Amino acid sequence: MTGMKLGQYVYGDSLIHRLDPRTKIICCILAVISVMASVNLYYLLCLLLLMVTAIVSARLNPKFIFKAIYQIKTLLLITLLFQAFLTPGKAVLTIGTITMTREGLALGSINILRLIILFMGSLILLMTTTPMKLSIGIECILRPLEKINIPVHNFATILSISFRFLPTLFEEASIIRNAQKSRGSQFDSPELMVKIKSYAAIVIPLFEASLSRAGDLGEAMDSRCYTSHPNQLRMNSLKMKGQDVLALVSVSVIVLAVIPVSILMK
Amino acid sequence: MSEGIEVINVTKQYNVFAMEKIEALKDINLSISKGEYVGLLGMNGSGKSTLARLFNGLLKPTKGRVYINGIDTADPVNLPEVRRLVGMVFQNPDNQLVCPIVEEEIAFGPENMELPLEEIRRRVDWALQVCGLEGKRHHAPHLLSGGQKQMAALSSVLAMLPEYLVLDEPTSMLDPQSRRALLDQIYKLNKQEGITIILISHNPEDLLQADRLIVLDQGSICLEGVPRKVHANAKIKELGLDAPSLYQLIDHLESNKFPVPESIKSIPELVEHICLEL
Amino acid sequence: MPGIIEINHLSHIYAEGSPYEVEALKDITLSLERGEFLGLFGPNGSGKSTLIQHLNGLIRPQQGSVIVCGKDASNSRLSRDLWKKAGLVFQYPEHQIFQISVYDEVAYGPRNLKLPESAVNERVNEALQQVGLTQENITQLPPAALSGGMRRRVAVAGMLAIQPEILILDEPMAGMDSVGRNMILDIIKKRQERHETTVMVSHSLKEIMTLTDKIAILDSGSLAFSGKVKDLLGKPEILAHYHFELPEYLQIVYEIAAKGFDIKTDISSIREAGEEISKLQKIRKDADYLLPGQYNSW
Ligand SMILES: Nc1ncnc2c1ncn2[C@@H]1O[C@H](COP(=O)(O)OP(=O)(O)O)[C@@H](O)[C@H]1O
Ligand SMILES: Nc1ncnc2c1ncn2[C@@H]1O[C@H](COP(=O)(O)OP(=O)(O)O)[C@@H](O)[C@H]1O
Ligand SMILES: [Mg+2]
Ligand SMILES: [Mg+2]
């Protein structure tokens, strides 16, 4: 369950929360591009500052962000070590046949910085946007793909039904678990067979319930003339406002700055 | 074109496993005219849900025909029109709400009918207001109570402006307050909006407000008529369906030489009558 | 002598410290004697399910104490085995069935008690008998082949086979037709005759008021009422506030009384109500006969 908490939406009412999900998604994509395109330390520090500003203005708990970054520490460490040992250059440390180089360390640090920036960006997106808004945003952005016969709408329907029923499913699972415990199921038994049987007592009814729900849902949708047809009200529930334009323009400027910066720094 | 619902010689069989067949409905004949409030009563397994699903073409009759305003439900071409005419509310409030937000749920039907956005907005506003759900417009369905979920299901059907409303045991999973609210709402829709109601229940108390009661037993219609007449029939007790206590009380009063007019259908009406007589 | 259930100043908070915190129970004090039947009422979300999950050890008390059959539910070692003493049947138990045959399903509890197979067999048959599933070959059928009402019976039998000292039912009659409802009421009546304890969460006062020894009403986690049915009937403001549906005959008699007629309200059947109303009419007619015209001034 602790895994689920990572990047979970946190209710809030800041400027960042109020931005259109499309704005936030596009900003994130822009950030990814600029992070990929640049190796300049100062430029990356600028982006880091941008992320920190976003976190502060969204009033996210910094402690939580640090904790989240700490959770990917192994990934960061591996990146650093790989770069440090595999990049040729001036040796700092030699272990057997492999050597750690100064250039490698520098490159590794920059890559860590890049990863952290990307990670922070996606955390900000997830923590300030409800899953529903996020999926509408993705659907709107992918909309043009319908022109080349990719069924974006069906995909979006599946996504939205999952969002609708995920909480119900969790609730159901916890009720069934408690009900089986009341009949003596031992979920913490040391015997493997007993344990497996106990979990079967959850999974089977859960599966049955989902099947019957799928049947019911099908009937309810058919009764209301379901056709796989884009959802106008949903599409129109999003509105770009002044703040969105402002955010997009400023992020674009920062991102585009990568070009002159990298030319100048050469 | 004839208005109303016509069920003509309908038999419905289910195939279970390879060979076995269950006859859920046997040679049903039934007609329901526009504006009626019909109660469909029967024990679990008597075929009520099967009949309900025949009304809007979710099921096709094995034999016989079902006509809605003269339109044959067995022809797939007619299905969109049939389903617009006949709205369905089901038993389980959780399993009939499809969308992650109440407002979208109500727009679901009109969206599928490919109405213009303005019209969709108007209908959503109207349906929310009729069912008293304005405050829940932007909520997620799983955060509503059972009664509110069922109201949301009702209003999502109303947004399609159906002429007939079929409700399959809509109250059986609700607490008493929500049940009362839903029944009052249904009555209001019948009287004020003129929507024809077919309310299904295994509980006779739910069907007190119906103009006509149809009792199903093992796939056949075994009794039909004004609720008080139906409950006065000895046959209904054999089915295990106790008369609503209101009627039992009226029976006792009448056997004590205290006549009660047939028009009385609710407790306040009876109390008023008694007080006038006293 | 202490009761079979002793709840003292019990409070419970879900997800404490998070933005989703819910105070589900607030300072509940309640007790029940052996052999009594408690009816637990309250609107949706008032904490009924939370309260009964304390009784069989699923939730351990955060604050206050719960003692069931003399065992302290806050002791983790004792509360683990509480399910054997207090059998809790959840809402819609037919959705928790998972075995391939009715027999195995009902036998699941007794087998978890580590009883020998012969004893299990005996208990299964007895339990199926109690819920009225007496057809010859029913034990070998897959539960999936049964209707919803039948599956509910199988699930209830599964708990009865554990033979708990306290049977706790969470809205067992929801969605059942009259035959199924009467089956549940019969089980409770038989338990009362055998001096066994039952707790039932319900929404329908009129259905169980003639059986209950005690009624408790929860509202937003607090105990709004606890006492005998008689005491509750004497509190019309509580009845009205929680939209309790009294039996129709009582509603009518109360309303007639409220209109200023002198009618006996302490009655317990439809027949009596009919008689009372007719009596009133007779008095009225006699009076009319003696003093014509007097009632215009009423
Ligand atoms: N999908 C199905 N497949 C096979 N048999 C079914 C199916 N649906 C219903 N039945 C059977 O048809 C009969 C009538 O069921 P139903 O219409 O659901 O009754 P009710 O709604 O009155 O409880 C029952 O015997 C039931 O077992
Ligand atoms: N596992 C849980 N986690 C968080 N909140 C819960 C949980 N279970 C119940 N609640 C909340 O506690 C309150 C009481 O719930 P419950 O005991 O289920 O009430 P009832 O059974 O009377 O409907 C409700 O507000 C409900 O949302
Ligand atoms: Mg049914
Ligand atoms: Mg509950």
Residues B207-259: pLDDT tens digits?
988 999 999 999 999 999 988 888 888 888 888 787 888 888 888 888 877 78
The answer to whether residue A22 is domain-embedded is yes
Contact B148, B131 (CB under 8 A): no
* Of C50, C60, C169, best ligand 2 pocket probe by most atoms within 8 Å of the beta carbon: C50
Contact C42, C217 (CB under 8 A): yes
Residue whose CA is at the smallest distance from ligand 1 atom 16: B47
Residues A60 and A176 in one domain: no
Residue whose CA is at the smallest distance from ligand 1 atom 12: B24
Ligand 1 pocket, B4 CB below 6 A? no
Ligand 1 pocket, B202 CB below 6 A? no
The answer to whether residue A234 is domain-embedded is no
Q: What is the largest CA-CA distance in chain A?
A: 73
CA end-to-end distance (rounded Å), chain C = 55
Q: How confident is residue A2, by pLDDT bands cut at 50, 70 and 90?
A: very low
Quote the CA–CA distance of B8 and B23 in Å, as a whole number: 16
Q: What is the CA B91 to chain-centroid distance, rounded?
A: 10
Check A184 against C108: CB less than 8 A apart. Answer: yes
CA end-to-end distance (rounded Å), chain B = 51
- Long-range CB contacts (within 8 A, 24+) of C257-265: C259/B271, C259/B275, C261/B275, C261/B278
Contact C142, C100 (CB under 8 A): yes
Q: What pLDDT score does C287 carry?
A: 66
Q: What pLDDT score does C272 carry?
A: 81
Q: What is the CA A178 to chain-centroid distance, rounded?
A: 32
Ligand 1 pocket, B271 CB below 6 A? no
Residues A126 and A246 in one domain: yes
Per-residue pLDDT for A4 more than 70?
A: no
Domain that holds residue A111: 1-130+239-266
* CA distance to partner chain A, nearest, from residue B169 (Å): 14
Comparing alpha-carbon positions, the chain A residue that sits nearest to C19 is: A11
Degrees (nearest 5) of the Cα angle A109, A112, A115?
Answer: 155
Count of alpha carbons within 13 angstroms of residue A70, beta-carbon side = 6
Ligand 4 midpoint to CA A31 (Å) = 48
Q: In this predicted structure, which of A63-77, A219-233, A252-266, C132-146 has the lowest mean pLDDT?
A: A252-266
The answer to whether residue A157 is domain-embedded is yes
Residues A115 and A212 in one domain: no
Q: What pLDDT score does C295 carry?
A: 46
From C244, C270, C284, residue closest to B252, measured CB to CB = C270
Per-residue pLDDT for B1 more than 80?
A: no
What is the average per-residue pLDDT within A188-199? 86
Residue whose CA is at the smallest distance from ligand 1 atom 1: B14
Name A35's Cβ contacts closer than 8 Å, sequence gap at least 6.
A44, A47, A114, A117, A118
Which of A60, A177, A182 is the best substitution to test chain C (most C C-beta atoms within 10 A)? A182
Q: What pLDDT score does C290 carry?
A: 56
Q: What pLDDT score does C18 carry?
A: 64
Comparing alpha-carbon positions, the chain B residue that sits nearest to C204 is: B176
Residues A21 and A114 in one domain: yes
What is the average per-residue pLDDT within A162-170? 84
Which of B46, B175, B236 is the best substitution to test chain C (most C C-beta atoms within 10 A)? B175
Side chain identity, residue B86: V
Residues of C in contact with A178 (CB under 8 A): 53, 58, 90
Residues A222 and A258 in one domain: no
User: How many domains does chain A contain in total?
Assistant: 2
Which of C82, C98, C112 is the best substitution to test chain A (most A C-beta atoms within 10 A)? C98
Q: Residue C186: helix, strand or coil by DSSP?
A: helix
Q: What is the CA A29 to chain-centroid distance, rounded?
A: 12
Residues A9 and A103 in one domain: yes
Q: Where are the domains of chain B?
A: 5-227
Contact B12, B186 (CB under 8 A): no
The ipTM of this complex is: 0.88
Instruction: Please give the CATH number for the structural domain made up of B5-227.
Output: 3.40.50.300
Return the higher-pLDDT residue of B165 and C239.
B165
Residues A121 and A5 in one domain: yes
Per-residue pLDDT for A127 more than 60?
A: yes
From A178, A184, A209, residue closest to C112, measured CB to CB = A184
Residues A245 and A223 in one domain: no
Q: C18: burial class by Cβ within 10 Å (0-12, 13-18, 19+)?
A: exposed
Per-residue pLDDT for B270 more than 90?
A: no
Contact C186, C180 (CB under 8 A): no
Residues A61 and A89 in one domain: yes
The answer to whether residue A232 is domain-embedded is no
Quote the CA–CA distance of C160 and B239 in Å, as a whole number: 28
Q: How confident is residue B151, by pLDDT bands cut at 50, 70 and 90?
A: very high
Q: What pLDDT score does B185 carry?
A: 94
Residues A1 and A114 in one domain: yes
Q: What are the pLDDT tens digits along chain C (298 aa)? A: 678 999 999 999 987 766 667 899 999 999 999 999 999 998 888 999 999 999 999 999 999 999 999 899 988 888 888 999 999 999 999 999 999 999 999 999 999 999 999 999 999 999 999 998 888 788 888 888 888 888 999 999 999 999 999 999 999 988 888 888 889 999 999 999 999 999 999 988 888 888 899 999 999 999 999 999 888 887 878 877 777 777 777 778 888 887 777 777 777 777 788 888 877 777 776 666 555 544 444 4
The answer to whether residue A193 is domain-embedded is yes
Check C83 against A184: CB less than 8 A apart. Answer: yes
Residues A8 and A106 in one domain: yes
Contact C164, C87 (CB under 8 A): yes
The 10s digit of each residue's pLDDT in B93-122 is 889 998 888 988 999 999 888 888 899 999
Residues of A in contact with B83 (CB under 8 A): 222-225
SS (H, E, C) chain A: CHHHHCCCCCCCCCHHHHCCHHHHHHHHHHHHHHHHHCCCHHHHHHHHHHHHHHHHHCCCCHHHHHHHHHHCHHHHHHHHHHHHHHCCCCEEEEECCEEEEHHHHHHHHHHHHHHHHHHHHHHHHHHHCCHHHHHHHHHHHHHHHHHHCCCHHHHHHHHHHHHHHHHHHHHHHHHHHHHHHCCCCCCCCCCHHHHHHHHHHHHHHHHHHHHHHHHHHHHHHHHCCCCCCCCHHHHCCCCCCHHHHHHHHHHHHHHHCHHHHHHHHC
Residues of A in contact with B114 (CB under 8 A): 227, 229
The answer to whether residue A144 is domain-embedded is no
C19 shares contact with chain A (CB less than 8 Å): yes
Per-residue pLDDT for A226 more than 70?
A: yes
Q: Beta partners for B277?
A: none
The answer to whether residue A253 is domain-embedded is yes
Percentage above 90 pLDDT, chain B: 55
The answer to whether residue A63 is domain-embedded is yes
Q: Residue C146: helix, strand or coil by DSSP?
A: coil
Among residues C233, C201, C253, C174, the alpha carbon closest in space to that of C47 is found at C201
Please report, to the nearest 10 degrees, the dihedral formed by the alpha carbons of residues C186, C192, C193, C195 taken in order.
150
Which DSSP letter does residue C297 get? G
Check C98 against A178: CB less than 8 A apart. Answer: no
Residues A96 and A6 in one domain: yes
Among residues A175, B242, B244, B140, the alpha carbon closest in space to that of C171 is found at A175
Structure tokens at C256: 């007639």
The 10s digit of each residue's pLDDT in B70-86 is 999 999 999 999 999 99
Q: Residue C41: helix, strand or coil by DSSP?
A: strand
Per-residue pLDDT for B42 more than 60?
A: yes
Quote the CA–CA distance of B206 and A239 in Å, as a whole number: 45
Atom of ligand 1 lying closest to residue B46 CA: 22
Return the higher-pLDDT residue of A176 and A227.
A176
